[in-house]
Amino acid sequence: MPVRAFILTSLLQISFFSGIMDKYQEQPHLLDRHLEWMMTLLLDIVRDNGSPPQLVHLAFKFLYIITKVRGYKVFLPLFPHEVRDLQPVLDMLVDQNPKDPETWETRYMLLLWLSMICLIPFDLARFDGNISEEEHTRVPTMDRILAVAKCYLVVSDKARDAAAVLVSKFIVRPDVKQKRMADFLDWTLSMISKSSFQSMEGTVVMNGMLQALAQLFKHAKREDCLPYAATVLECLDNCKLSESNQMVLRKLGMKLVQRLGLTFVKPKVAKWRYQRGCRSLAANLQAQGSVVQSQMTTVAANEADDEEEYDIPGEIENVVEQLLVGLKDKDTIVRWSAAKGIGRITGRLPKELADDVIGSLLDCFSFQETDNAWHGGCLALAELGRRGLLLPSRISDVVPVILRALTYDEKRGACSVGSNVRDAACYVCWAFARAYDPTELIPFINQIASALIIAAVFDRDVNCRRAASAAFQENVGRQGTFPHGIDILTAADYFAVGNRVNCYLTISVYIAGFPQYTQPMIDHLVNMKINHWDSVIRELSTKALHNLTPRASEYMANVVLPRLLPLSVGTDLHTRHGAILACAEITHALCKLAEENNRSITHYFDEKSLEGLKQIHEEVCIKYKCLIPFMFFTVSAGWQWLINDSLRSLTFASSTARQHIKESAVSALAALCNEYYINEKGEADSALQDELVTMYVSELQNTEEMVRCGFSRALGALPRFLLKGRLQQVLEGLKQVTLISPGNVSFAEARRDALIAIAKVCQTAGVKGEGSQEEYVCKDNVAQIYAMLLNGVTDYTTDSRGDVGGWVREAAMRSLMEVTLLLVQNEAELIDANICKQIMCCVAQQSAEKIDKFRAHAGSVFLALLHFDHPPIPHIPHREELERIFPRSEKETLNWNAASEAFPRITQLLALPAYQYSVLLGLSVSVGGLTETTLRYSAQSLFDYMKKIQNDSSALESFCETLLKVFEDNLRNDRVSVPLLTMLDQMLANGCFDTFTMQENHPFPVKLFTLCKEEIKRSKDIRKLRSSIGEPSTGTSVFAFPQHLELRFPGHCPAQSVFFPVFSRFCGLIQFQGDMREKVFFQLFLLLCHPFPVIRKTTASQVYEMLITYSDVLDPAIMDSVLTILSDTNWEAELPVVREKRNCLCDLMNVPKPQLPPSPFSCTASKGDLSW
């Protein structure tokens, strides 16, 4: 026993057992051969009187884990079920505490076990012997079991389910049925009528009763239940379960109502059920008739045709009605249960009634009905189908419905619902295959086959494709009449249809090779898929049309294209997008085809289409394949309208589609301008030019960001002859887009696109220093252009998407580089020293910042400018030093992405006066930032630099001056000031300013302190405050700092907020001599009475640590008392209490006491004011 106990407990401890069992979830039957020994082991423990209770419970827990994986039905027979097992199991069950939440598994398993034992063919009365007179108080075994079952039917744990199973096995015993069934049913009904599903307890009770009844009516003999069925149904009706929002109750209602229904009508055995038994493909392929006759004497049952006449009780109508309602339930499980019920009951009804059910069922499929109804309706049809209950006369009603369901797709917001409907429709088709004689299906076979193929190849959802493939296979196997069924099945089997791209682009082409499928497939793509809500599907389907074109070139040219043309100017964006792409793909395919066959393209286009295509040469079609749709409208519907409209409509497209639409429209524009807007002299038609440029520039001020994006890029794509004479107008327009104004802060994408466009426009226009600013980049506009671009590099906009300004800075730097390289190659003297310095400094600053991606981009721009040689860029400050720091030999190998490589280099720029400010500005964001690697390498590099200049007082002075300047310039600019203070803190802790600590009242710490105070003043940001007295005064835990705080004050630091450790802490400043020290204490004592208890507590412990660290700042005589007050006070207590303690400290240390401000409201943090 101890060994077993050991095995078990240790198994449980490491919860391997459960883990191992989980592995069997997928194929639980693999577990079967282990079941027996596991059972024996566990049951031995359970049945051993010597086992301690905990061990017994443990054993039951294991048993439960096994049943969970394998299901109790498989497991149950393995429980011992002899007469002698009854008493011990019942006793054990009675001994349990029904409420103990730790041991419900024990009760659950015992109830199931008892339900098994109840099957013994043995009169229970014999257990009780003759209850003699003196023992008349003893309860008969039958009643003991009943009492236990009833007791557990109303518990709220899983034992309730087991109790229902027990009831169903127990009540139906011949002896129990006779004596207790009526009573028991009375009891359940009265329990139900007493409870309401509105309350928790009511729900629990109803759940137990409904389960018990459903199980009972399922397992008991029909005739035994019949007398009670009507009463139970009435009671169930009164519950109005369909109005409950408890899914479980509605499901149980469905289960019970159908069982009641089945009680009212006798079962029938379907006559046809053996007739189409040939399920294997191989067998179907074999010549029929070679069936070997068994030598055994078999007599086929002669299922008499005579339908026995008997009255169907009126209740059936009620039952069916409820099930039909259940089909539309919002929960799949309820619909499922209802569908099965419909199938089961209809199977027992006479023909006419069964047909009525089907009639009502077809009502589920109307436009008003939801996808739920469609789904439930399909499930029910499938259940009827597989039972052979859809009479041939109904096939013609059902097939059209199913065909629609196979492509059911209802828009809901940005996507759609219906994959469950399509899947269920496949189930119906699958059921047809089993239930119908091939001759009955023949008239519909082509439609069904096409629809299934379309679903198997073109459905968006892999499950639906697979379901369709399975249904197709069942039909091929059983019906044998699907055209080319076996060939298609080989190409589109379960595995093949898993890959959607392959389905669309390859399998479809193969299947379309069979003529009866070609047209349905193409029509489906055109009608249902090119306008799909998912752009991936739209694009795939147009590519599929391209691939299918050789299969039906005439049809594509004569029918499909004319149908697509009007769609591509329609109002629905999805349709238009798909139609345009489809026209392009089909035309491209037709052109290729024409070329291959040495035919003129005119072969494929009728007069009408040709009219539109007259001026477009075959060559052009092939060269600009993506432009073909635009070409159409150039001539027919007006290209300008289409392109302009596409650009204006960007707002409504998905973000990926946007990029795509924008780029194709813009590239179409460039190509078309070159093609059509140029006259023989190579000039623009001035009226057209005026109209176009003016309209485009005015759209730059559109209130929709995406429209600004589109037209910025369009201007960037204009050819030179359209810019000529209009350059200033265009640049001015773009400049407006790049400016941030209160209404458009979030328009980062527009600013990015405008900056990109500026560089493009410059490149297109070309450089001529003395030229006109209406035509060239020249001395008159170069400063203006640079100003726009440099301004872009300062865009630090953030919003819910994150650092969106990063896109702008990145684009601005690239454009800076492009314009500068353009200038230097043409007229280098246009770049003056001041501009060059600005460019290099701002790029250097970006090269020291924290986000790897942007830093890397900046780094590459910096090096590209520095190392450019044809000719070199003039006036780069400190060029020689830079060339040393960044040797050309490392141009290719230096990895700016890696903080470990970038920071050691970029910090060297701190020594170059021209760059010091910018680099320090960039660095502070990195050193005080969050990313650990960035922070580590940037901080290390900075400290290394500081160490180097410790003894060079002029370098140090200049550094500190710059540092203060950076601080001052960025006061209250949290993006910089917060990390900057963290950086300062680390520098203090690392002794970077130790030199100054020796000097009384050195201006640096004084200035620093003033700035800190300024920064903290009126700060509402608790994070900032808390950090200002932050943790790592020794500098060792710098990296763990944010995590520490987050752990310690989880409530105050929402996980999603990016955590900035903030302040140069006063604690660090304490080491400076002079007034400084007193000022610092004063500030700290203010914080000791801060309205936020968290801050008070943190301050106290920080002061405590600081005093220990810098022990010389206090008079040893008062040290002990001060430390005691700090450590023993509950700083989270009420403010008056705390204030008193704080004032003691002030007295002890001779620091003036902070005074309460007069305002009575200032104590509340929400006022945003700090009260002292």
Partner 1 sequence: MGLLTILKKMREKERELRLLVLGLDNAGKTTLLKRFNGEDVTGTAPTLGFNIKTLEHRGFKLNVWDVGGQSSLRSYWRNYFESTDGLVWVVDSGDRERLQLCGKELRGLLREERLAGATLLVFANKQDLPGALPASAIREALELDSIRSHHWCIQGCSAFTGHNLLPGIDWLLDDIASRVCPPD
Which positions lie near partner 1, rule CB under 8 A? 29, 32, 77, 81-83, 119-122, 169, 172-174, 219, 221-222, 262, 266-267, 269-270, 272-279, 294, 296-304, 332, 336, 344, 347, 386-388, 420, 423-424, 426-427, 430, 434-435, 463, 466-467, 470-471
Query: Is the distance from CB of 172 to CB of 127 less than 8 angstroms?
Result: no
Half-sphere exposure (Cβ direction) of 863: Cα atoms closer than 13 Å: 22
- Report the residue number, 76 or 1006, with the smaller CB distance to partner 1: 76
Residue 802: beta bridge partners?
Answer: 799
CB of residue 506 to partner 1, shortest distance in Å: 23
CB of residue 174 to partner 1, shortest distance in Å: 5
Give the pair of three-digit tokens for residue 636: 């027919």
- Report the residue number, 301 or 687, with the smaller CB distance to partner 1: 301
- Name the nearest CA neighbour of 1087 among 1031, 1033, 998, 1016: 1016
**Residue keyed to tokens 């040393």:** 884
- Report the residue number, 221 or 240, with the smaller CB distance to partner 1: 221
- Report the residue number, 287 or 296, with the smaller CB distance to partner 1: 296
**For the chain, what is the radius of gyration of the CA atoms?**
42
CB of residue 602 to partner 1, shortest distance in Å: 48
CB of residue 242 to partner 1, shortest distance in Å: 22
Q: What is the DSSP letter of 832?
A: -
CB of residue 77 to partner 1, shortest distance in Å: 4
- Report the residue number, 176 or 762, with the smaller CB distance to partner 1: 176
* Three-point CA angle 1021, 1023, 1024, nearest 5°: 70
Q: Where are the alpha helices (DSSP H) in 347-370?
A: 351-361
Q: Three-class SS of residue 684?
A: strand
CB of residue 39 to partner 1, shortest distance in Å: 12
- Report the residue number, 386 or 551, with the smaller CB distance to partner 1: 386
- Report the residue number, 290 or 598, with the smaller CB distance to partner 1: 290
CB of residue 338 to partner 1, shortest distance in Å: 14
CB of residue 189 to partner 1, shortest distance in Å: 24
Distance from chain centroid for Cα 807: 24
Residue 309: beta bridge partners?
Answer: none
- Report the residue number, 97 or 275, with the smaller CB distance to partner 1: 275
Residues 6+ apart with CB under 8 A from 1087: 1025, 1028, 1029, 1095, 1096, 1099
Q: Three-class SS of residue 777?
A: strand
- Report the residue number, 276 or 1052, with the smaller CB distance to partner 1: 276
CB of residue 216 to partner 1, shortest distance in Å: 12
- Report the residue number, 481 or 651, with the smaller CB distance to partner 1: 481
CB of residue 470 to partner 1, shortest distance in Å: 6
- Report the residue number, 169 or 1023, with the smaller CB distance to partner 1: 169
CA 575 → CA 539, 560, 583, distances in Å? 11, 14, 12
Torsion of CA 1162, 1164, 1167, 1170, to 10 degrees: 60
CB of residue 464 to partner 1, shortest distance in Å: 8
How many angstroms separate the CA atoms of 985 and 737, rounded? Answer: 40
- Report the residue number, 269 or 287, with the smaller CB distance to partner 1: 269
CB of residue 24 to partner 1, shortest distance in Å: 14
CB of residue 343 to partner 1, shortest distance in Å: 8
- Report the residue number, 404 or 592, with the smaller CB distance to partner 1: 404
- Report the residue number, 35 or 622, with the smaller CB distance to partner 1: 35
Query: Is the distance from CB of 863 to CB of 819 less than 8 angstroms?
Result: no
- Report the residue number, 89 or 647, with the smaller CB distance to partner 1: 89
Query: Is the distance from CB of 886 to CB of 865 less than 8 angstroms?
Result: no
CB of residue 251 to partner 1, shortest distance in Å: 13
CB of residue 463 to partner 1, shortest distance in Å: 5
- Report the residue number, 275 or 825, with the smaller CB distance to partner 1: 275
Give the pair of three-digit tokens for residue 941: 């590099």
- Report the residue number, 297 or 893, with the smaller CB distance to partner 1: 297
How many angstroms separate the CA atoms of 469 and 467, rounded? Answer: 5
CB of residue 438 to partner 1, shortest distance in Å: 14
CB of residue 339 to partner 1, shortest distance in Å: 11
Query: Is the distance from CB of 976 to CB of 924 less than 8 angstroms?
Result: yes
Query: Is the distance from CB of 861 to CB of 843 less than 8 angstroms?
Result: yes
How many angstroms separate the CA atoms of 448 and 455, rounded? Answer: 11
Q: What is the DSSP letter of 1056?
A: T
Q: Three-class SS of residue 799?
A: strand
| DSSP string over 69-96 | HH-HHHHGGGS--SGGGHHHHHHHHHHS
Strands 415-417, 410-412: pairing is antiparallel
How many angstroms separate the CA atoms of 858 and 864, rounded? Answer: 10
CB neighbours (10 Å) of residue 227?
12
Give the amino acid at 553.
S
CA 425 → CA 48, 320, 465, 481, 525, distances in Å? 55, 22, 12, 20, 19
Query: Is the distance from CB of 591 to CB of 621 less than 8 angstroms?
Result: yes
How many angstroms separate the CA atoms of 840 and 918, rounded? Answer: 10
| DSSP string over 372-439 | HHHHHHHHHHHHHHHTT-S-HHHHHHHHHHHHHHHT--EEETTEEE-HHHHHHHHHHHHHHHHHS-HH
- Report the residue number, 96 or 419, with the smaller CB distance to partner 1: 419
Q: Is 220 left (phi over 0), alpha (psi -120 to 50) or beta?
A: beta
CA 1085 → CA 2, 667, 1055, 1117, distances in Å? 63, 66, 30, 20
CB of residue 494 to partner 1, shortest distance in Å: 9
